[in-house]
Structure 1
Amino acid sequence: MSSQFANLQEYIGSLPANVIQNIYGHPASCLAIFRDLPVLARTIIMRFICLPNSETTGQPQPISQGVVSSWINPSHQNTYKIISRMLVKLGIWNEIGTDWQLDATFRNNLTGAIFGGTTYWLDETDSTAGPSERNVKKLDELNAYSSTRWDCVLQYLVNPDRGQITRDTIDVFVHAKLLRRNEDTSSSSTDPYTITGAGFQFLLMNRRSQVWFFIINSLETRQQRGEDISEHLIFLFQLSFATFGKDYSCEKFSSVKENFLQHLRELGLTWQKTRKIKRYFPTKLAIELASGLSTNGFVDQQYGTDEIQSGFLIVETNYRVYAYTNNDLYLKITALFCKMLYRFPNMSVGLITRQSIRRALSKEISADLILNFLKSHAHPQMRKRLLENKPLIPTTISDQIRLW
């Protein structure tokens, strides 16, 4: 998939230098990026920011590269070299001759963020605002809203002819190659899009990785339209320091920033009663977003409901698939490669057929992706097969799926 960055540093380092400098113009951005750096990098930066500025230039004090290298244990010199390249790519370090110099803007704003003096990260003043929604929206309601909105976005990806999302969100899916134009004129579907193999792989990722991947592609599409994405990134970093359950003012937002807020609202990252009420609540999806990208990117226990965490799929050697869940999204995903036969409370039954697998393959959903999904969500009863030294998915099933 495009825009697949292993972590937050890789994405920031891929941006143009002027965009990075704009991002460092806000303390929330500097602190968010700083806290996501490796421990050794944070330790070195803390030594730099505690030094006084140069008396001649007034800029951060340059330090000889040899001196900085002497701070590092000889057994960790290779790690230090990797970190040095990372800090240069991020624009945090500048190489001046044989010296390292901390970027002045980054240093000043990080110092302010750590030691105080910067309280304007979000507008928290309610004195001139109307009646606040703060005591109306409960935390569990925010969590439910966030989960519902994101599931709605994912359901469109699985079944484009039945979901309702904005044109902006569809454009992001197409840009990220999660959806493609439906060229099957014989299909009964009236929607011009269909899910791709990359889209199916996207559904296997954990929720935080999904949101980050989507946001990065959203920023890329906005950058192509000529928008200043540094403003959007700063806002995302600000949200990561917001208080869950507290409302904030958006009265002074520019039209571009207001549009981005509504985009986040659609994704479930913010809640706003109506656009006329200039107050919004950040949800946990937004607050936890800037804590970095997941390194493996696939399903983990951050995802959602209990049946998802423990596994809900049983695959039998007669090609029947039993899904012990009421989660509509996961049932729709299962239906991408199964012929669904029955649906009961808490359980649905499907059948893996040649036609259902061929249909999935026509959507670029490979056999390996299907098997990965079945393994990722295998019911605890299925996992007992591993204790008996048996494959998680019966060999007859996995072999036949690959043959089809």
Structure 2
Amino acid sequence: MSVDNFKTNIYEYLETLPTFTFLRLFEKPATCLAIFRLLPSIGRQIVMSFLYVEADIPVQDVNDWVNKDGERMLPEALHKLSRLRIMDRHNNTLMMNGTFRQEFKNALTGGGTQQSFGLPCSTPDKHSVDIPFLDQYATQQWESILHYMVGTSSSKKPSRGVLNLLERSQLMQYGSDDPGTLQITNKGFQFLLQDVNTQVWAFLLQYLNMAEVLQMDLVEVLNFLFQLGSLELGENYSVETLTQTQQQMLEDLRDYGIVYQRKRGSRRYYPTRLATTLTSGSLAITGAALRNVTAGDTSKAPAAGGEQGFVILETNYRIYAYTESPLQIAVLNLFVQLQSRFRNMVAGVITRDSVKNALIKGITARQIISYLETHAHPQMRKNTPILPLTVVDQIQLWEMERCRLKTTSAYLYHEFNMQADFDAAEKYAKDIDVLLWSNPKKRTMAITQSGHDQVKGFVKRRLQTPRQ
């Protein structure tokens, strides 16, 4: 659910764009390179094979280029190339889009006159910053959003733009018990389980949707995001080559930790690691890794996928988490009753009430189990299955217990003067399949909201019919 997941999301978004939008996007070499990086491996090989071939190539010839394993992946790759307007298919031949061909060549060879890959500042920065500072800044900005989502008491409230995105993307919603406070949703908890790159792309895709609503130039927005993915970490770039829309974007991207500017209106900006890994085809470095790099210890950076392997779950529902991360502790607190905290560990227990509180927030039993499996300690991974079945089954049973009752909007019919009138109305409701419940002795029944008008009309007609 990491690299492949964010690629799938950006693919799905790009595929919705009209052809004329792609033609404008392809005018920027950096955008062509970014889209190329997002292609599956066999798709990239096809592009490179077509790059210096001006003539149409029969589809059958392309089929002959791949081995048996490639035959399975080739149709999907050709479909993506077509949907991204890189390849045009006419009958049984393929032709590469001319604009993409030329600008992608420029991206590879350094041709063209456009400063598509940013303009490094020609003068030194009086307040220069280094890579550890940028890593620390990116971590603080991004994790402040995640801390707010899980309700960490010490978390700084994000900007209004971030709050709008959290609500618009349904990662958080205003609670019924406290209408003025945003609370994490089922989708928000699933968001927390992703790697940083996937999280950032989820935000940016929603930002793109909002940009359309605000009538921002979508091509300029996309070009700038793709440009950021090709910039050099630690280098500072001039805003002179940016359009009005792109300069406006800088303020929002600062809030996410994707770029750094010393102050609003500064004539230079620095891309952070969150920016330079957007289209790299590999996982963005995680928050924990950023902290280690900031401390000057790159050897302790965890493997891609996040701070994994720190949770131990026992059959008695006791849980031990070897972590100092306030964010991970806050996530655990969503479904664990924490009892003790030590220098490098927290201990707690999974209870019916703690799981119930998580379920009320929209977090599912499957998500809780998935989180525990994803972050299971290496010692637990020696077990098959990884988690104790007794605990897994009980979490699921607690969820089923809460889902025993289902609310349905309905209309209550009662106070029938005659049993015959009630029996006739009940039979009619059954016949049209809108009866939810009935009690003939009390002449009472519940009708679905959609069936109310029909049953109401039937009862009215019957009562208006003269009695024999």
**Superposed, which structure 2 residues align to 1:245-324 within 5 Å?**
245-292=234-281, 302=286, 304-305=288-289, 309-324=307-322
Contact 1:9–1:33 (CA under 8 A) maintained in structure 2: no
Q: 1:9 to 1:291 in 2, by over 3 A?
A: farther
Counterpart of 1:359 (choices 352, 357, 360) is: 357
- State the AA in 1 paired with 2:360: S
1:31 aligns with 2:28: no
Q: Structure 2: any 5+ residue segments left out of the alignment?
A: 290-299, 399-468
Match of 2:74 among 68, 77, 80: 80
Distance in 1 (alpha carbons) for counterparts of 2:109 and 2:356: 60
Provide the rounded CA distance (Å) in 1 between the counterparts of 2:236 and 2:244.
Answer: 20
Do the aligned residues in 1 keep the contact of 2:6 with 2:197 (CA within 8 Å)?
A: no
Offset at 1:309? Answer: 3.4
Give the match for residue 182 of structure 1.
175
Residue equivalent to 1:159: 151
After TM superposition, give the deviation of residue 97 of structure 1 in Å: 4.3
Change (3 A) 1:252 1:314: same
Contact 1:133 1:247 in 2 (8 A): no
Seen in structure 2, the aligned counterparts of structure 1 residues 39 and 330 have a Cα distance that, compared at 3 Å, is closer
Report the CA distance shift for 1:394/1:68 in structure 2 as closer, same or farther (over 3 A): closer
Decide whether aligned partners of structure 1 residues 13 and 392 sit closer, same or farther in structure 2, where only a CA change above 3 A counts. Answer: same
Counting only pairs closer than 5 Å after superposition, residues 70-219 of structure 1 correspond to structure 2 as 70-73=64-67, 76-118=70-112, 120-127=115-122, 129=123, 131-132=124-125, 136-159=128-151, 163-185=156-178, 191-219=180-208
| Deviation of 1:91 (Å) | 0.4
Question: Is the contact between residue 338 and residue 351 of structure 1 (CA under 8 Å) also seen in structure 2?
Answer: yes
Q: Check whether the contact 1:313–1:324 (CA below 8 A) recurs between aligned residues.
A: yes
Query: Offset of 1:5 from its aligned partner?
Result: 5.7
The structure whose RCO (Cα within 8 Å, separation 6+) is larger is 1
Secondary structure (helix, strand or coil) at the match of 2:339 reads: strand
Secondary structure at the aligned position of 1:291 is classed as: coil
Read off the aligned partner of 1:121 and give its amino acid letter: S
> Structure 1 stretch 347-356 or stretch 144-153: which is displaced more?
347-356
Aligned CA-pair RMSD: 2.8
> Distance between the aligned counterparts of 1:41 and 1:315, measured in 2?
43
Give the C-alpha shift of residue 253 in structure 1.
Answer: 3.2
CA distance in 2, matches of 1:27, 1:303: 31
Structure 1 outlier segments of 4+, above 6 Å: none
Secondary structure at the aligned position of 1:340 is classed as strand
1:125 to 1:184, Cα distance in 2 relative to 1, 3 A: closer
The answer to whether the Cα contact below 8 Å between 1:223 and 1:229 also exists between their aligned partners in 2 is yes
Report the Cα distance in structure 2 between the residues aligned to 1:320 and 1:43, rounded to whole angstroms. Answer: 51
Distance in 1, matches of 2:333 and 2:15, equals 39
- Mapped contact 1:160–1:194 kept (Cα < 8 A): no
* Residue 57 (structure 1) aligns with: none
- Give the SS at the match of 1:91: coil
CA deviation digits over 1:326-360, x for unaligned, max 9?
21111111111122223332222323222211110
What amino acid maps onto 1:269 in structure 2? I
Cα displacement (A) at 1:72: 4.5
Match of 1:382 among 369, 380, 384: 380
The 1:44–1:353 alpha-carbon spacing in structure 2 relative to 1, beyond 3 Å, is closer
* Structure 1 residue runs without a partner (length 5+): 53-60, 295-299
8 Å CA contact retained: 1:200, 1:365: yes
Go from structure 1 to structure 2 and tell me whether the alpha carbon gap of 1:126 and 1:258 turns closer, same or farther (over 3 Å shift).
closer
Q: 1:115 to 1:177 in 2, by over 3 A?
A: same
Deviates more, 1:355-364 or 1:28-37: 28-37
Distance in 2 of aligned mates of 1:6 and 1:172: 21
Contact 1:156 1:165 in 2 (8 A): yes
Report deviation, 1:316.
3.0
SS at match of 2:140: helix
Distance 1:77 1:262 in 2: 46
Residue 340 of structure 1: which of 338, 341, 350 is its match? 338
State whether residues 121 and 236 of structure 2, in contact with CA within 8 Å, keep that contact through their aligned partners in structure 1.
no
| Structure 1 CA distance for aligned equivalents of residues 344 and 67 of structure 2 | 57
Contact 2:220 2:243 in 1 (8 A): no
Cα 1:357/1:37, change in 2 over 3 Å: same
Letter in 2 for 1:272: Q
AA partner of residue 218 (structure 1): Y
- Is the 1:160–1:193 Cα contact (8 Å) retained in structure 2? no
Q: Check whether the contact 1:212–1:293 (CA below 8 A) recurs between aligned residues.
A: no
Q: Please state how far the C-alpha of 1:191 moved relative to its aligned partner.
A: 4.1
Larger gyration radius, structure 1 or structure 2: 2
Relative to structure 2, which stretch is displaced further, 242-251 or 116-125?
116-125
Shift of 1:77: 4.1
Once the 2 structures are TM-superposed, how far is the Cα of residue 195 of structure 1 from its aligned partner?
Answer: 0.8
Shift of 1:281: 0.9
Counterpart contact for 2:6–2:198, Cα < 8 Å: no
What's the TM-score, normalizing by structure 1? Answer: 0.84
Checking the alignment, whether the CA contact within 8 Å between 2:121 and 2:268 is kept in structure 1 is: no
Q: CA deviation at 1:250?
A: 1.3
Equivalent position of 1:397 in the other structure: 391
Relative to structure 1, the CA distance from residue 125 to residue 301 in structure 2 (aligned partners, 3 Å threshold; closer, same or farther) is closer
